Structure 1
Amino acid sequence: MNRRDFLTFAAASVALPAWAHDAPASATQAAPPPADAPLVDHHQHLFSPAIARLLDTGAGGPSVIAAKDMIALLDAAGIRRAVLLSTAYVWGSPSRKIEDEYLKVRAENDFNGAQAALYPDRLLAFCSVNPLKDYALEELERCAALPDLKHGLKLHFGNSDVQLELPEHAARLRQVFAAANAKKMAIAVHMRASVSKHRPYGAAQARIFLEQLLPAAPDVTVQVAHLAGTGPGYGDPPSDEALGVLAEAVAAHDPRTKRLWFDAATMANPDITPPQREKLAQRIRQIGADRVLFGSDAAAGKNLRPRESWAAFRQLPLSEAEFKRIAKNVAPYWK
């Protein structure tokens, strides 16, 4: 999710952002879908009725988004498939006190798996969990045994208040990465540390990720969400600093980055400046277009829907060959 820690559901005590009061996801575009559409939207979310209720502070919350809504949005964009990144970690946010927390985490993951199973040729679900919770490894093991959730694990460092500079947090994350690797589960990770809590983030955290976490999961795809940032837009200096460390490692053919991919969800929105577009394009070229995945994030409120998200991405100063390459990229966990 984007909008710093609000769109990532970091704190329940703060009013929901403007998007939360808008209408449900819809796909009413009359024009035919674009011919150059990506094959896969690698960063999407469903909202179960329970999550929608949790985030409704009384002034209105995000609408339920089910698989049928996602399929309509994909059809409007001309996109064949999507990855559903469970938001079960929201129940485990340290900013909340939730009764029967783990039961709700399980139910949220199961909702995503069941919804994906309705369209098995088009939707793939990842389970999710706050990796610092006592039940994290148990839930990972449970998901790995379920046909509809065994494909991958979504981690959200900002919402879970992961601080990689803390040795105990880094050690815990190594455990989680190793457990996912053992179960052959891909890992999609929102690396950006909490913005609302003003946690440190930048080159130091990216080096820990590179030097300590990636070696713990050498055999599975690791997908860095939002190009190591949060969005919307590409203008957060700490995120660019973190991305720079990873991009340099990829460009240098560091073996630890062999299975490292990046999704660009929410980065190329219409509000970024021309210099930000140039910088974003430079980073994509530094990584290599063959490692960049299209993603658009939750189809809620003011977030761009998949069709509009691809149109905004097409405004970057990249070549047609680079756009074509990114549109055709499919993460290995889909193959």
Structure 2
Amino acid sequence: MHRLFAVTLVLLASTSAYAADAYRGPIIDVHAHLRLSDKDGLNKTHPLGTDALRTLDDAAGVQQSALIVIARKGQIDATKAQNDAVIAAAAATPGRFFPVVSVHPADGEAAIAELERLAKLGAKMVKLHPNTQNFDVSDPAVATVAAACARLGLVMLFDSYKPWDASQIGKFVLLTVSNPTAKFVLAHMGFSQFRETGTFAQLRKIGVGTNNVWFDISAIGTTYAGSPLQAEFVWTMRQIGTDRILFGSDWPVDTPAAALAAVRKLGLTASEQRQVLHDNAVSLLGLTP
């Protein structure tokens, strides 16, 4: 009983030390969604425009935030208009928001032409969503988009959890290893399949690619912080390397404040928090610090 009490005190002291040692600098959110019309909200309460997100960012200390849109198959004119709108929304507040544009892999040559146009406009990141866009990561069309993004210097942000595709993480391994000059961010870190993302760390140890892969912890952070799986989640993050982990809120699914509170609960050191909350995004996306 005395030993249990002593261990409890040590754990409490450790938690307190991490809280006191928290990173308090500027924060970058790489995963927040922009609603442009009544047809493209993530949920019924998703506000139009950027005003609501700007207010939430201010409250949470988020300095810069992504604005994500998602392209629909076979609607290339609408895709172009959507991409132009998100670029304009970001440009309206320089240094505050950055656009995350999108194409659909099934749009073939039209998608590649749109990527070339977007790169000339200064876009840095492209959103691809296997669920919403209903494509398979192993589809050759996805590899074609990856090759084009590598050539154009565009970072790809993929949602990495598809409940009905148990092989998806393996498909991402093949895609990323086959496209070593492309840069991939796997959003939600595999979510309930996060154990499998450790594969990337093991492959890197034996010199098999994966130096081109990062993970954002939107949604998964708020799910596992404070849970019985927190220790394993954090252990996996550290195996991958906290220099490969990015902060995201997945707004409007979670607020920036809720996502930040989850990161604070994980017990990361101040230097690890700085990597996750700021430095990694600056380095990967070439943002102004």
TM-score normalized with structure 2 length: 0.80
- Which AA in structure 2 matches 1:66? G
Q: Cα 1:248–1:36, aligned 2, differ >3 Å: closer, same or farther?
A: same
Deviation, 1:226, is 0.8
Partner in structure 2 of residue 138 of structure 1: 113
Aligned residue in 2 for 1:210: 173
- Given the alignment, which residue of 20, 31, 36 partners 2:24? 36
Is residue 2:61 matched to residue 1:81? no
For residues 184 and 97 of structure 2, what CA distance do their matches in structure 1 show?
Answer: 19
> What letter is aligned with 2:261?
A
CA distance in 1, matches of 2:279, 2:208: 21
Q: 1:217: Cα distance to partner?
A: 5.0
Structure of larger gyration radius: 2
Identity across matched positions, percent: 25
For residues 260-292 of structure 1, the C-alpha deviation after alignment (integer angstroms, 9 at most, x for no partner) is 211101112267663221221111111111111
In the alignment, is the contact (CA less than 8 A) between 2:226 and 2:266 conserved in 1? no
Specify the alignment match of 1:174 in structure 2: 143
Q: Distance in 2 between matches of 1:132 and 1:151?
A: 21
Letter in 1 for 2:68: L
Partner of 2:161: 192
Gaps of 5+ in 2: 1-21
Q: Which residue of 1 aligns with 2:243?
A: 290
Structure 1 equivalent of residue 81 of structure 2: 107
Corresponding residue number in structure 1 for 2:264: 314
Question: What SS does structure 2 have at the residue aligned with 1:43?
Answer: coil
1:1-335 equivalence runs, <5 A: 36=24, 38-49=26-37, 52-53=38-39, 61-87=44-70, 89=71, 91-92=72-73, 101-134=75-108, 135-147=110-122, 150-165=123-138, 169=139, 171-193=140-162, 195=163, 198=164, 200-202=165-167, 205-218=168-181, 220-229=182-191, 236=192, 239-250=193-204, 252=205, 254=207, 256-269=209-222, 274-299=227-252, 303-331=253-281, 332-335=284-287
SS in 1 for 2:101: strand
Off by >6 Å, runs of 4+ in structure 1: none
Q: Is the 8 A contact 1:210 1:256 kept in 2?
A: no
User: Aligned partners of 2:267 and 2:31: how far apart in 1?
Assistant: 22
The change in CA–CA distance for 1:267 and 1:74 in structure 2 (over 3 A counts) is: same
Deviations 1:149-182 (A, max 9, x none): x2121111122222245xxx1x221111111111
CA gap 1:253/1:42 in 2 versus in 1, 3 angstroms: farther
Q: How many Å separate the matches in 2 of 1:156 and 1:262?
A: 15
Is the CA contact 1:227–1:243 (under 8 Å) kept in the aligned structure 2?
A: yes
Q: State the one-letter code of the partner of 1:247.
A: A
Distance of 2:245 and 2:235 partners within structure 1: 13
Q: Deviations over 1:78-112 (max 9, x none)?
A: 1111122222x2x33xxxxxxx8222222221111
TM-score by length of 1: 0.70
1:124 Cα deviation from its structure 2 partner: 1.2
Code of the residue aligned with 1:157 in structure 2: it is: P
Following the alignment from structure 2 to structure 1, what is the Cα–Cα distance between the partners of residues 51 and 61? 15
Question: Is this contact kept in 2: 1:187–1:222, CA < 8 A?
Answer: yes
- Distance change (3 Å), C-alpha of 1:253 and 1:110: farther
Letter in 1 for 2:126: L
Instruction: Indicate conservation of the 8 Å contact 1:264/1:294, yes or no.
Output: yes
Measured after TM superposition, the shift of residue 121 of structure 1 is: 1.3
The alpha carbon displacement at 1:304 in A equals: 2.3
Distance 1:145 1:328, change over 3 A: closer
